[in-house]
A and B are shown apart, each in its own frame.
Chain A
Amino acid sequence: MIRVEGLWKSFDGQPVLRGLSLEVGTGEIMVVIGRSGGGKSVLLKHMLGLLHPDSGRIEVDGLDVARLRGAALDRVRERYGVVFQSGALFDSISVLDNVAFPLREKTRLPAAEVRARAEQQLAQVGLTGMSHKNPAEISGGMRKRVAIARALVTEPRIVFFDEPTTGLDPILVNAIHRLILDLHRRLEFTAVVISHEIPEIFSIADRVALLHEGVIVEEGSPEAILASANPVVGQFIRGEADASLLSAAMTHPGRHPA
């Protein structure tokens, strides 16, 4: 179980997280949605122990990640699998070596066993026959799948997906979502998914949390979120531009608001 309580974080005096609280139950898929630059990745980096909060707690199975350092933090991270937004594949080694990397470095398994497991993991994500390729030689969708295979090869109990489908076409988006759901059913890990893909991502979510201006403004099942009367939720779900964006569009009619 992951429990985030009263998380505050500022950068150069600008608060990004303002007392955020969130709970992710064991074995569930929690999807965190929210506007770009709203602090979703900052929240994820806190859960991973890559950032430390100004105040607040991040409990993972009862251990406060925010207070842990060094070997104690590494012991929590050993339960993690992480799929980074960019894939973060090591570009100097092959696809197979990328997937085998955590096993080679963190276990004492024989080389043949490591190779067999990595190949099996690649097969699970539909990438049989791609082992020898370099990450630079495969498509964006394939890179995401290799990243998923690498994150899951150590059979982690908690898996974090940071915008796993960004930059992919709608067919690939659905394929990756189905893959996550399928792997979740088989491996029964707890998943935290940061996503922009609305409403597609709702099909795999057990619960959805909307992060807005540094706090979770709405949390519940996908159905409850879709039916929410909260105007912020409605604005985000239906993609309605807010007043500031509309005013920018009116001032610069030839340009699209960023």
Chain B
Amino acid sequence: MRGSAAAGQPALPVRLLGALGGTTLDGLEHLGRFGRFFGEALLAVVVPPFKLGRLVERLHFIGFRSLVIVILTGGFTGMVLALQIFFTLSRFGSEAFLGPAVALSLLRELGPVLSALIVTGRAGSALTAEIGIMRITEQIDALVVMALDPRRYLVVPAIVAGMIAFPLMTAIFDVVGIFGGYLVGVHLLGLSPGTYFGEMQTFVDVEDVMTGVWKSLSFGVIVTWVCCYKGFHCGHGAQGVARATTQAVVLSSVLIVVWDYFLGSVLP
């Protein structure tokens, strides 16, 4: 027999295995809670009573109040896209395809992804912080002891508003971006307006538009789900809310990019 320390503690490989197992179980439990949170919220989406007033308020908060920054970034994204694509196309003598190139880039990829990232930064973070503060100031407990379901007031309206607002914000981003590209391509780089829009009509299909719509719709669900979950399960005090907000924005942003790749590979 070895010394008492060796007798009292399991061997190092066993401890490492134990730590690995513990971490895996914690991760799985967390994932289970995350999934269950979404499942219960989805159930509350279809089972009355519906909080229409809260939905309108959330739409205003997530959608309308993100409008200025979405228009601004959409416009400049279209402009810089036109500038870069024009110089690339001019090397092959294909400047005429500037319109479809800008439109397809925006409709299929940049519109949904960038507008989702912008709305996450503006509204998603605020959503987590608001719910987190309600958690630490016992406002959520107050709803529970009134025999009311806090998810119905805080989560369901946010998810439904996300499903409505994200595609709308993306549509606005795309339109403003296409006109930003028009401004640079036609007024700065000398392309004819007819070529810019004419070629766009030839090459852009409804499928391209729908790809963007499906993406933005799913981003709306992902962002509001993650942000509400993180707010609901935030730690103690101001530090807990701050950590939850950071985690919500980081996780939402990563999931947007990963989910974008997945959808990009399965959608036509």
Contact = CB atoms under 8 A, between A and B. Distances in A.
Contacts of B142: 82, 84, 88, 90
B146 A106 contact: yes
A174 interface: no
Given A88-B137, A88-B138, A105 B145 contact: no
Interface stretch (A53-61, A72-80, A119-127, A226-234): A72-80
A6 interface: no
A243 interface: no
A166 interface: no
Given A48-B144, A49-B145, 13 more contacts: A48-B141, A48-B145, A50-B144, A82-B142, A84-B138, A84-B141, A84-B142, A86-B137, A88-B137, A88-B139, A88-B142, A90-B142, A91-B139
Contacts, number: 40
Contacts of B145: 48-50, 77, 80, 82
Contacts of A86: 137-138
Nearest to A83: B142
A106 B148 CA distance: 8
B33 to A, nearest CB: 16
Interface in A88-128: 88-91, 101-102, 105-106
Ranked 6 nearest A-B pairs via Cβ: A74-B147, A88-B138, A88-B142, A77-B147, A84-B138, A82-B145
A78 B148 CA distance: 10
A134 interface: no
B interface, how many residues as a size bin? Answer: 10 to 19
Interface string B127-169: 0000000000111011011111000000000000000000000
Interface of B: 137-139, 141-142, 144-148
A85 interface: yes
A88 B145 CA distance: 11
Contact of A50 (B137, B139, B141, B148): B141
Nearest to A102: B146
B141 A88 contact: yes
Contacts of A75: 147
A84 B138 CA distance: 7
B147 A106 contact: yes
A188 to B, nearest CB: 21
Contacts of A80: 145
Interface residues of A, number: 20
Nearest to A71: B147
B265 to A, nearest CB: 41
Contact of A90 (B139, B141, B144, B147): B139
6 contacts: A74-B147, A77-B147, A82-B142, A85-B138, A86-B138, A101-B146
Contacts of A91: 137, 139
B235 to A, nearest CB: 14
Contacts of B146: 77, 101-102, 105-106
Interface in A224-253: none
A238 to B, nearest CB: 32
Contacts of A84: 138, 141-142
Nearest to A105: B148
A75 B145 CA distance: 10
Contacts of B148: 105-106
B179 to A, nearest CB: 37
B48 to A, nearest CB: 13
A43 to B, nearest CB: 15
Contacts of A82: 142, 145
Contacts of B141: 48, 50, 84, 88
A77 B146 CA distance: 6
B59 to A, nearest CB: 16
A200 to B, nearest CB: 24
Contacts of A102: 146
Nearest to A73: B147
A160 to B, nearest CB: 8
Contacts of B147: 74-75, 77-78, 106
Of A74, A84, A88, A89, most buried by chain B (CB within 10 Å of CB) is A88
A15 B146 CA distance: 29
A109 to B, nearest CB: 15
Nearest to A74: B147
B212 to A, nearest CB: 33
Nearest to B144: A50
A37 to B, nearest CB: 14
Contacts of B138: 84-86, 88
